[in-house]
Amino acid sequence: MLKLLKKIKNVIETLEEWIESRSGDSPDLSGFVDLAPTDKADATGVYTKALLFATQNPNITNIALTGPYGSGKSSIIRTFLKRYNSATLNISLAAFVPEVVDSSAVVTKQEIERSILQQMLYGADANRLPLSRFKRIQTPGKLAVFVSFFTLVGSVATWQVFFKHPEIFDPIFFSKIDGTKIPLLGLLAVSTIFIWVALHYVYIRSMGISLKSISLKDIELTPSDAKEESILNRHLDEIIYFFQSTKYKLVVIEDLDRFNKPDIFVTLREINSLINANAGVHRTVRFLYAIRDNMFENTERTKFFEFIIPVIPIINTSNSIDKVLEHGKRLAIYEKLDSQFLREVSRYLNDLRLIQNIFNEYKIYVSNLEADGESVFNPNKLLAVLIYKNILPSDFEELHKRKGLLAGILDKHVEYIARVETGYKAQINEIEKQILAADAQFPADLQELRAIYAMALIKRLPTHFNAVGIQGQGEVHYGEITSYPAFDQMVDSHNVLVRNAQQGYAAQHVDISGFQKAVNPNKTYLERKQELERTSSDFKERCLKSIKDIRSQIAGLRLAKFNEIIRHELNTSAGLFDIFEENKNLAQYLVLEGYLDNSYYQYTSLFHSGRLSPNDNKFLIQIRSFNNPEPDFQIDNPKEVIAAMRPDDFLQNFVLNKSLVDCLLSNPVTYRDQISKMLEFISSNFGECGAFFEIYYEGGTHIPELLLALIGQWPGFPQAAIANRGNLSHAAYILTQLTLDRLETLKKTDRAFSDFVSDNLPGILALGIDLEPSRLAIIRPDVSNLTSIEAYPSVYRFVTDEGMYKLSVDNIDSIFRCVLGSVNLSDLHSKHYSTVLASANAPLIARIERDFDVYLTEVLLQIDENVSEDTTAVLSIINREQLALEDIEAFVEQQIGKLPSLAEVSRRVQPILLNDQKVEATWENCLTFILNEDFKADILTRFVQGGQSLTQLSKLDIPIEDAVLPLRQYLIGNDDLPNDIYRTYVRKLPRPFPKFPTSIGSDKVRILIDERKITFSMESYERLDNFADLQLPFLVKNIASYLTMADKIPLTDDQREAIIKSDVNDGQKRKIVEAMDIPSFAGLPARCAIVGPVLDRTDVNVPGLTAETAQALVIHSKPIAVQISLFNKLNHHLSDDQVRTTLQALPSPFRDIKPGWSRPQIEGTPKNLELVEWLKRRQLISSWKEATFSDDIVIHNFRS
């Protein structure tokens, strides 16, 4: 009856399902597929045949079906079981979850075995295993009603027997049985059967009792090995009993390989052997394992299994596209999805069930969205989100809370933008460094080219000259030709001027035409210079174009898609996606291709326009509670939030949210009132807005609009900005984001801003904000320390090119290092301006020229070692009329070199050069100064008597030209010169002057006389009236001239005597003697001594010579040889007595020539021989003869 009722119920349920499926209101289920294993996996029957072979072979009891995860092993088994008619037990560990608290704990073998045992024993009907020690709930059987009735009857019967046992068990009762005793006998029989059945049941049940532990209140006693031994081994009798009581021939075990416990297979194989060896099991029981290929190493798996069936995967990364496209076509969404995306993403999907589930979920999501009337979603992004959800479900769950791995990457959008921007800026910085290096190389190349032509030019110049130049451009020493300002013109000219200032040679023209061909026969110097300039210019142009392109990319960063930003980040941050471990490649692909980005929230929940996201609601809730959210609080739908805000909210700090401000400024017409209120709040509470500006400057997309609006409504914003916290950021963004016309207006109306930028430019640049250098030209900063901005090449170069810096030693040093590439600055410090000019750096030279007075005082005069400036540089400096003379003098004092010529020096500076001995000592320079209207004799006097000047000038001849007369007059009339120096310079006078200067004293007059630098004339002689003692020396020095006019210049004999004593020749003395009073000599012995020798050497026959005078001349002249000579020449004027008297006046032996017995002996000289001859002739001696043994003369006197 019960069986009939159950069948009727089943028929009714089946009929209801059929009617429901035929109804028009039934849902469309065609878009879904189940994920269960299919029973149609073995189309060719190969696997089924192999399994049938294994299950029918008596030698095979352990079968392995091996293949990778998702290869379709379960489907193959299910297909096989359709044809396998024997009982099968399925054990799967796919859903096994170990009972552990720590997710990282290792699953033990005992836990796995417990799961296997549970699935085995609890899979069979409890009524089939009555003796099992594992107690389970048993369901009543078909005879349960009768059993319960029998139990009731038996219980009643036993109770009746118990109460009537005196009567029943009385021996008399069984002695005679009649009809009255039949009921009692029936009760006894029923009770006896009931008690027997009950005792039998208890006996059977007692066989399943096992004492494992004893538990008291707080104590449990358990065998020590109970927790260590194998679960399966411990309950082996249960397993044997199970297979004795059931008819299972095949045990299918799946997903056992996921725990990587190969030793479990040893236990199972052992159990399989015991089952098949048990006498109570009258069939062959086989175990079929579905495992991975790599479960065992090397050949170990052949030891566990008698038959192994490999499974070729149904799907892998190479053919998964076919399944993806199949599902796309099935759901009619293939046209909506990007085929390229499908092909590429399918490479990451190698599990058929995973693909099926993804498209099941896609169907559900799309159906909900279509029912909601929304069609704004990107189907590719939706599919990407669902793929991510299925492969990384736990991280997807965290994504709802803005947590997890993907959220950690997506939430760093602003940070990534900043990094990419930093990377771009680094590229710009590197390119700018290359420009600086190229610019620094150009002067070096140009200097090298100049040196080549300079050497060739020097070879064409005369060797005895040392300076060269061209007309009107000054001159330069041979060693400084490359720094000559007019070098280009000089090389290109046909002739040059050369001179040697030290030797005083006049300038000469030298023909140098054609010398360039000796260097390069094909190109001139100017052509090669232009090639260098062109090469440098082309490279710089390419670099500037690259910088412009990079800056345009920076400008678009904040509007760029997330995947474009993250691609840049990936290039610089290796391992960004390593946190996804084995799913790294998929996550990287979905993010980098733009399928997963920060719009994910639109695909993780039902969302449509006009509604607020959870973040939006949270923002509104907070401001209604008067809790101000952070300025960077995420708002997903700013327009909806603005619409939900109250008008007064825009006068509160609530409005200072990055997303809200961006939305307001992107629609200035629509939100005009809200913007005005926001600006009013900022202007009134600017000190409280620092956090907002800091965040908005970093991530806002309408910074220019915000700044323009602020300045437009609040003109005092720039002043407030530079006076409050974050002033550097404010200044930086005003400088970089404000329009050029507004920036120009700001400069004119607010000089304080320009001054602030000038003082804080290094700090502004340190913020890392990209600054277009040309903007600095508008506000014209005056950077005090260029070194502090060297790290920003483009700005540095622009500042230096535009001359927007203060002139200082350090700043110019910095330019030489960074712009001109100079490593050694010794030349710069030793000859600063010369090196600047030689660099040919036009911007630097122009900056110096603009404030040359500052350059002189703050640079040149501050460098103690700046002592070797080139001539050209010195002339350029000292000839500037705007410079103070005291500064020029200080500069001149620094220099150790001397200018070659004063002709090129301004008149006001010439005295300084002469005072400091900083000009070459040449007569041309002296003359130049003398001709100066500001000539001061004392300055030139000090100059010419300087040690080096004296040495140099003393070697130079004074020019004889009439043009040099002022110099000669200055020298001859300079009474301030020391006598020795005066004499030195007077000697250099090329010709004598006609008269004595009136400005000099007797010492200088004497020097002029000594050096014969005054022409003798009556006038010049009379000029010496005041210097009477010098007249005679003057006359003596000019005796020849005097003799021609002796009659015009009366002299006394004393003066004539003085002349005779002087250094004049004998002929001139003879003429002087003739003019004297000769007879007066007789009474003037001294005069006779002076005149006598003169007459002896000339002619003694002078007019008016008397015997007395002749005698006096002989007697008073010296030496004896002169006396004898005069005696010989004048004896005819003397009488014999006068002769004898004269002989007595002579020294011995001549005085012995007198009558007597003596025989004087004199030297046998010609004069003495002549003497004795005329004495013999005049009978004044007896005779004479030559001595016997010598040349002497022996005189024989008369006896009386």
Report the Cα 981 to chain-centroid distance in Å. Answer: 64
Average pLDDT over all residues of the chain: 79
HSE at residue 1096, side-chain half, CA atoms within 13 A, is 22
Residue 984 has pLDDT above 80, yes or no: yes
- Positive or negative, the CA dihedral 982, 984, 987, 990 is negative
pLDDT digits (tens, 9 = 90+) for 409-437: 777 766 777 777 777 777 777 777 776 66
pLDDT digits (tens, 9 = 90+) for 832-876: 998 898 888 889 999 999 999 999 999 999 999 999 888 888 888
Rounded distance between C-alpha atoms, residue 977 and residue 989, angstroms: 15
| Mean pLDDT score, 536-549 | 70
Q: In this predicted structure, what is the pLDDT of residue 217?
A: 42
Stretch 988-1013: mean pLDDT: 90
pLDDT value of residue 858: 94
User: Rounded to 10 degrees, what is the CA torsion of 587, 590, 594, 600?
Assistant: -70
Torsion of CA 969, 974, 978, 982, to 10 degrees: 10
Distance between CA atoms of residues 935 and 1086, nearest Å: 55
Burial 879-916 (b: 16+ CB within 10 A, else e): ebeebeeebbbebbebbeebbbbbebbeeebbbbbbbb
Query: What does the pLDDT read at residue 450?
Result: 77
Q: How many of the other CB atoms lie within 10 Å of CB of 429?
A: 16
The label of the residue with tokens 């260590």 reads: 228
The residue among 364, 415, 368 whose CA lies nearest residue 389 is 364
CA atoms within 13 A on the CB side of 26: 12
Model confidence at 535: pLDDT above 70: no
% of the chain surpassing 90 pLDDT: 10
Q: Which residue has the tokens 């200080």?
A: 890
Coil/strand/helix, residue 1185: strand
User: Which DSSP state fits 654?
Assistant: G
Is the confidence at residue 564, as pLDDT, over 60?
Answer: yes
Cβ neighbours for 161, distance < 8 A, ≥ 6 positions apart: 168, 187, 188, 191
User: What secondary structure does DSSP assign to 1110-1173, as a single string?
Assistant: HHHHHHH-SSHHHHHHHHHHHGGGS-HHHHHHHHHHSPTTGGG-SSSS---EE---HHHHHHHH
pLDDT beyond 50 at 99? no
User: Count of residues for the chain?
Assistant: 1200
* Cα–Cα distance list, 251 to 97, 258, 1068, 1117 (Å): 21, 18, 163, 171
Per-residue confidence (pLDDT) for residue 128, from 0 to 100: 67
Strand partners, 1195: 1184
**For position 38, what pLDDT does the model report?**
63
User: What token pair was written down for 468?
Assistant: 């060269």
Residue 242's pLDDT band (boundaries 50, 70, 90)? confident
pLDDT score for 219: 45
DSSP H helices, 581-716, are: 584-592, 601-604, 614-624, 638-644, 658-666, 672-684, 690-699, 703-713
Q: How confident is residue 102, by pLDDT bands cut at 50, 70 and 90?
A: very low
Q: 953 or 587: which carries more pLDDT confidence?
A: 953
Cα–Cα separations (whole angstroms), residue 1057 to 179, 577, 1083:
221, 126, 15
Task: Please write the tens of the pLDDT for every residue from 669-723.
Answer: 899 998 898 988 888 888 888 888 888 888 888 888 888 888 888 888 888 888 8
CA–CA dist 897, 1165 (Å, integer) = 70
Residue 743: which of 711, 769, 778 has the closest Cα? 778
Q: Note the pLDDT of residue 694.
A: 84
157 vs 833, more confident: 833
Compute CA distances 175 → 164, 190, 985, whole Å: 17, 21, 191
Sheet of 307-310: strands edge to edge? 88-92, 250-254, 286-291, 62-66, 307-310
Question: Tens digit of pLDDT for each residue in 270-310?
Answer: 888 888 888 888 888 898 888 877 766 655 656 678 888 88
How far apart, in whole angstroms, are the C-alpha atoms of residue 216 and residue 471? 127
If pLDDT is split at 50, 70 and 90, which confidence band does 24 have? very low
**Which ranges constitute the DSSP H helices of 278-378?**
301-304, 320-330, 339-345, 352-371
Is it the case that residue 949 has pLDDT exceeding 50? yes
Mean pLDDT, residues 889-900 taken together: 90
DSSP 687: G
Which of 251 and 389 is assigned the larger pLDDT?
Answer: 251
CB atoms within 10 A of CB 22: 8
Distance CA 297, CA 585 (A): 28
Pick the range with the lowest mean pLDDT from 130-144, 764-778, 814-828. 130-144
Tens digit of each residue's pLDDT (9 = 90 or more) over 441-455: 555 667 777 778 878
Residue by residue, DSSP assigns 390-416 as HHSHHHHHHHTTT-HHHHHHHTTHHHH
The DSSP bridge pattern shows strands 250-254 and 88-92 to be parallel
Say if residue 470's pLDDT is above 50.
yes
Kindly compute the dihedral angle of the four CA atoms of residues 940, 943, 945, 946, in this order, to the nearest 10 degrees: 170
If pLDDT is split at 50, 70 and 90, which confidence band does 15 have? low
791: pLDDT strictly greater than 80: yes
Encode pLDDT of 479-522 as tens digits.
Answer: 777 777 777 888 788 888 877 755 555 677 888 887 787 788 88
Residue 980: per-residue pLDDT: 92
Phi-psi map region of 1104: left, alpha, beta (phi>0 left; psi -120 to 50 alpha): left
CB 1173 within 8 A of CB 1185: no
- Residue with the bigger pLDDT between 1133 and 537: it is 1133
Q: Residue 573 and residue 575: Cα distance in Å, rounded?
A: 6
Cβ–Cβ under 8 Å, residues 505 and 461: no
pTM listed for this prediction:
0.54
Q: What is the DSSP string of 476-542?
A: EEGGGGGG-TTHHHHHHSSEEEEEETTTTEEEEEEE-TTHHHHH-SS--HHHHHHHHHHHHHHHHHH
Strands 220-221, 214-215: pairing kind? antiparallel
Average pLDDT over residues 177-198: 76
Measured CA to CA, the distance from residue 785 to residue 805 in angstroms comes to 8
Going 594 to 598 to 601 to 602, the CA torsion angle's sign is negative
Cα–Cα distance, 49 to 1068 (Å, whole number): 162
CA–CA distance from 1166 to each of 837, 1121, 1163, 1193 (Å)? Answer: 85, 10, 9, 11
445 closest CA partner among 509, 511, 530, 381:
530
Q: What average pLDDT does this structure show over 751-763?
A: 84
